[in-house]
């Protein structure tokens, strides 16, 4: 299955259902089921010091170095000035949990399901494949 690695707290925000749009500098043609992997990397200092962002996390525990949930990637939208302004003005929590800028891409996620047991895995850049037998 396809997997996308993210640093915390962003993977946790998807797992909790607070974040349903992943922002990227690149587009993908892939649509379908996707695992979300929480990288083993420490929370970046800028994120950790952003009280507003960290305040979105409901759970005090965050997993690192494992696949924590699945979802469906249903669309990939190129951001326009209007899209960015709309997200800022109407979906501020979502806006806060991504990098919204003209020319970037919004990956639209649906049907988020938390895994009962996180799956330890080494992350990779880009979309990568996880084989259930690993």
pLDDT of 102 reads 98
**Per-residue confidence band for 100, with pLDDT thresholds at 50, 70 and 90:** very high
- Is 25 a domain residue? yes
CATH number of the domain bearing residue 110: 2.30.130.30
pLDDT of 62 reads 93
Cα separations (Å) of 117 from 27, 58, 70, 73? Answer: 30, 19, 12, 22
CA 72 to chain centre: 12
pTM for this predicted structure: 0.93
- Is 93 a domain residue? no
First to last CA, the chain: 12
pLDDT of 133 reads 61
- Is 100 a domain residue? no
What is the tally of structural domains in the chain?
1
- Per-residue H/E/C for 17-70: CCCCEEEECCCCCCCEEEEEEECCCCCCHHHHCCHHHHCCCCCCCCCCCEEEEE
- Is 43 a domain residue? yes
pLDDT of 33 reads 97
* Integer Cα distance of 70 and 88 in angstroms: 26
Question: Residue 26 belongs to what domain range?
Answer: 2-77+105-129
**Per-residue confidence band for 61, with pLDDT thresholds at 50, 70 and 90:** confident
Residues 5-32 pLDDT 10s: 999 999 999 999 999 999 999 999 999 9
- Is 92 a domain residue? no
- Is 123 a domain residue? yes
pLDDT of 59 reads 76
Q: What is the mean pLDDT of the chain?
A: 95
- Is 94 a domain residue? no
Per-residue pLDDT for 79 more than 80? yes
Q: Locate 34 and state its tokens.
A: 């996707």
């Amino acid at each position: 299955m396809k997997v996308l690695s993210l640093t915390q707290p962003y993977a946790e925000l998807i797992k909790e259902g607070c974040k349903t749009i992943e922002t990227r500098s690149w587009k993908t043609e892939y649509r379908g089921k996707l695992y979300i992997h929480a990288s083993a990397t420490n929370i970046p200092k800028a994120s950790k010091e952003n009280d507003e962002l960290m305040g979105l996390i409901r759970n005090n525990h965050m997993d690192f170095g494992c696949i924590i949930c699945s979802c469906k990637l249903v669309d990939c939208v190129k951001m326009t000035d209007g899209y960015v302004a709309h997200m800022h003005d109407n979906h501020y929590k979502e806006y806060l949990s991504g990098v919204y800028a003209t020319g970037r891409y919004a990956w639209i996620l649906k049907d988020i399901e938390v895994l009962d047991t996180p799956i330890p895995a080494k992350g990779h850049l880009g979309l990568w494949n996880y084989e259930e037998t690993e």
